[in-house]
Amino acid sequence: MYFGTRKGQFGLESAIIIIGIIIAIIAIVNATLAWSDVLESSFVRLITDMPVFEYDVVNGEETGNENFQLYMLLRNISFYIFLAAMFVAGISFMLEHVNLVPPETAINIISKSVFYIIFFFIFPALWDLSATMVEESSLWILNPQDPQNPIEKVEFIFSKLGAIETPEVSFDSIVAGIGDPVGVFEGFFLNVFLAAFKAIALIIFIFLVFIIGTIRMVFTAVLIIGLPVILTLSLIPWFYGITKKLLEALTGLLIAPIIAAIVIVAGSAYLGTIETSAELEQGAIQQWFSALAVMALAVFIPVILVPMLGSLVSTITTMTTGAVSSAAMLTGMAGAGGVRGGFGALRGFAGAQFGTEHPSWLEMAKAGFSPPGMTAFVKGSGTGSLEGLGAGSAVAAGTTLGAVPGGDHSIGHTLGRMGSHMMQDVGVQEVQMGIRMGENLIVTNEHRNLANEFVTIENDLKMDPIGNMGNIDAGQRILNDPQSRDSFVNEFHKHVVGYNKMSDEMKKKLDEGTLQVMQQYPGALGKMFENVKIHAISKQDSLDSVNPT
């Protein structure tokens, strides 16, 4: 093992993780701004569009879009419900005489039935006219001078809402931070926090706008298509309470676009009264929050007018917030895992290359700029990202379970803690992977160097073919003599960097490769072994002369 402890090794890694987080925030900000452009072009349609029937009479036959086709189907079904209502009216007429139902209940059912039958045939045309008037009035309110270009006020508000400054990392800011670290980095991290907060808040808002806008249009379409059934059921006393709420909801949804347009106009006027400049940073922040409040009010107008949508929107808001938070955790932990895994693998690789338990950052940099070191870093980053993704999935699942109504909070808490523990272990396996890659590179290089040295000796020996026969015989004797063979291999071990710290697997691989090279070049082996013996005898003679007995 190269690393018994990792203490003191995380300084630069922590800095790089911080830079990685900042880069992630920049990516989130840019993605949010791109989404806000999409929302800006769709916002007016989301708050003002009304579903219609496109009703017309051609050659005495009613025609319309798919909404109208469904409307006609439900209108035909409602006639069967009328039969049930007439039966209820008959029973009510009898019960009136014993005071079990209010007086004139039966006559009210019959009179309303006659009116509803007529109303069902004129409602499509009446609704198309009403919806068109509401939509056109809303566009006119947004821009009286040019109702066909109603986005002017919306663009003004979005210009305030999209004022998110992307945090910048430059060499000048780093140099300035060295001279005044407190002042510079305090302002820098404040900008990072505000950018992250604004981006996350805005992206949650963007999701809610699309969801609530779609709910408004779809729910309105459901009510107008199902109006024959709703009105027919309202004739039966037991359904009156439910149908009354649905009819009130339709009324609120009909006028919602007009009120939303008024909110946009009034909100833009208010935003224009807020003073802001480079010196008035508070004014810019106030404008941003005010713009978000104005847009939120415009979007939530249907919820205000139709209280039955409140619980649905509340649930969707909770789910959306949890989903965005979970996604941020997931991607953030995957990124952090990639950084930790990459540097863990690089640390192990550099430690193996330089034969040290704790490589310096300079040694890590040298190893990292080599192709094998870069490969180790990339592989470690990939493995670490997967581990971080797994840890982030556990945390995200725990967050979702804790946020969704009805979720198991105890399981969510357990998953969150499990994900945190998993994240702490990210990088440990990558260190060992880097060590293996570093040791494998050392073994490969040593085999290559030994082979090259043997080739050089073989080329020199070719000048004396007769004398070389003796070297070949000597090499074969060495290969056949375990003691001589092991003596040469052990001598070779002394020249291998970090041999004593290598794993048994790598030591075995080194010896197997060394033996193959020895068998391939027996003449060079015999010559080198002879030189080793001569060098050892000469060294011993020198020691004997210095220390005579």
DSSP string, 361-421: HHHHHHHHTSHHHHHHHHHHHHHHHHHHHHHHHHHHHHHHHHHSTT--HHHHHHHHHHHHH
Give the pLDDT score at 132.
93
- Residue reference for tokens 């003796």: 470
pLDDT band with cut points at 50, 70 and 90 for residue 511: confident
pLDDT band with cut points at 50, 70 and 90 for residue 6: very low
CA 233 to chain centre: 47
Give the pLDDT score at 179.
47
Give the pLDDT score at 81.
85
Q: Which two tokens stand for residue 162?
A: 């999209």
pLDDT digit string, tens, across residues 38-86: 777 788 888 999 999 999 988 888 899 999 999 999 999 988 888 877 7
Q: Which residue has the higher pLDDT, 461 or 256?
A: 256
Mean pLDDT, rounded, for 298-326:
82
Q: Which residue has the higher pLDDT, 150 or 133?
A: 133
Mean pLDDT, rounded, for 213-217:
92
Mean pLDDT, rounded, for 238-264:
91
SS3 breakdown of the chain: % helix, strand, coil, rounded to 5? 80, 0, 15
Q: Which helix (H) or strand (E) holds 63?
A: strand 61-63
Highest mean pLDDT among 303-307, 401-405, 502-506: 303-307
Among 14-28, 336-350, 458-472, 480-494, name the one with the lowest average pLDDT. 14-28
Q: Cα(352)–Cα(2) distance, rounded to whole angstroms?
A: 7
Last residue of a domain, one of 384, 415, 432: 432
Mean pLDDT, rounded, for 268-295:
75
Backbone angles phi, psi at 56, to 5 degrees: -160, 160
CA angle 5, 9, 13 (to 5 degrees): 140
Count: domains in the chain: 3
Q: Is 193 found in the same domain as 74? A: yes
Query: Above pLDDT 70, what percent of the chain?
Result: 67
Tell whether the model's pLDDT for residue 538 goes beyond 70.
Answer: no
pLDDT band with cut points at 50, 70 and 90 for residue 26: low
**Three-state secondary structure call for residue 500:** helix
Tell whether the model's pLDDT for residue 292 goes beyond 60.
Answer: yes
Q: Which two tokens stand for residue 77?
A: 């079904």
Q: Is 412 found in the same domain as 277? A: no
Q: Which two tokens stand for residue 229?
A: 């059934």
Give the pLDDT score at 208.
86
Mean pLDDT, rounded, for 203-212:
85
Highest mean pLDDT among 102-106, 332-336, 526-530: 526-530
Q: How far is CA 29 from CA 32, 444, 518, in A?
A: 5, 47, 61
Q: Is 283 found in the same domain as 195? A: yes
* 452 within a domain of the structure (yes/no): no
Q: Cα(175)–Cα(180) distance, rounded to whole angstroms?
A: 9
Mean pLDDT, rounded, for 526-537:
60
Neighbour-count burial of 504, counting CB atoms closer than 10 A to its CB (0-12 exposed, 13-18 middle, 19+ buried)? exposed
Highest mean pLDDT among 161-175, 314-328, 378-392, 495-509: 495-509
* 73 within a domain of the structure (yes/no): yes
Q: Is 216 found in the same domain as 139? A: yes
Residue 175 identity (one-letter amino acid): V
Q: Is-contact 491 437, C-beta < 8 A? A: no
Mean pLDDT, rounded, for 117-133:
93
Last residue of a domain, one of 414, 432, 450: 432
CB atoms near residue 93 (< 10 Å): 16
Highest mean pLDDT among 105-119, 244-258, 399-413, 472-486: 244-258
Tell whether the model's pLDDT for residue 426 goes beyond 70.
Answer: no
Give the pLDDT score at 52.
93
Q: Which two tokens stand for residue 412?
A: 């969510």
Residue range of the domain that includes 469 = 460-546
Q: Is 479 found in the same domain as 403? A: no
pLDDT band with cut points at 50, 70 and 90 for residue 545: very low
How high does pLDDT run on average in the chain?
75
Q: Is 385 found in the same domain as 533? A: no
Give the pLDDT score at 413.
57
Q: Which two tokens stand for residue 236?
A: 């039966």
Q: Is 539 found in the same domain as 392? A: no
pLDDT band with cut points at 50, 70 and 90 for residue 524: confident
* 1 within a domain of the structure (yes/no): no
Beta bridge partners of 61: 58
Q: Cα(37)–Cα(302) distance, rounded to whole angstroms?
A: 23
Q: Is 387 found in the same domain as 488? A: no
**Distance between start and end Cα atoms, the chain:** 44
Q: Cα(310)–Cα(134) distance, rounded to whole angstroms?
A: 23
* 194 within a domain of the structure (yes/no): yes
Q: Is 469 found in the same domain as 360? A: no
* 363 within a domain of the structure (yes/no): yes
Q: Cα(519)–Cα(269) distance, rounded to whole angstroms?
A: 90
Last residue of a domain, one of 270, 305, 340: 305
pLDDT digit string, tens, across residues 175-197: 444 444 444 445 555 566 667 67
Q: Which helix (H) or strand (E) holds 483?
A: helix 482-493
Mean pLDDT, rounded, for 336-354:
76
pLDDT band with cut points at 50, 70 and 90 for residue 227: very high
Give the pLDDT score at 24.
61
Mean pLDDT, rounded, for 115-144:
92
Mean pLDDT, rounded, for 217-221:
94
Give the pLDDT score at 368.
75
Q: Cα(165)–Cα(194) distance, rounded to whole angstroms?
A: 8
Q: Is 255 found in the same domain as 106? A: yes
Q: Is-contact 288 161, C-beta < 8 A? A: yes
Q: Is 418 found in the same domain as 289? A: no
Give the pLDDT score at 372.
80
Half-sphere exposure of 372 (CA within 13 A, CB side): 19
* 527 within a domain of the structure (yes/no): yes
* 392 within a domain of the structure (yes/no): yes
Tell whether the model's pLDDT for residue 546 goes beyond 80.
Answer: no
What single string gives the DSSP state of each residue in 102-115? -TTHHHHHHHHHHH
**Three-state secondary structure call for residue 58:** strand
pLDDT band with cut points at 50, 70 and 90 for residue 257: very high
Angle between helices 504-520 and 428-461 (to 10 degrees): 20
* 312 within a domain of the structure (yes/no): no
Q: Cα(61)–Cα(57) distance, rounded to whole angstroms?
A: 5
Q: Is-contact 307 366, C-beta < 8 A? A: no
- DSSP state for residue 80 in the 8-state scheme: H
Q: Is 369 found in the same domain as 293? A: no
Neighbour-count burial of 487, counting CB atoms closer than 10 A to its CB (0-12 exposed, 13-18 middle, 19+ buried)? middle
CB atoms near residue 28 (< 10 Å): 23
Determine if the pTM surpasses 0.85.
no
Among 182-196, 225-239, 349-363, 520-534, name the one with the lowest average pLDDT. 182-196
Three-class HEC string of 180-209: CHHHHHHHHHHHHHHHHHHHHHHHHHHHHH
Tell whether the model's pLDDT for residue 352 goes beyond 70.
Answer: yes
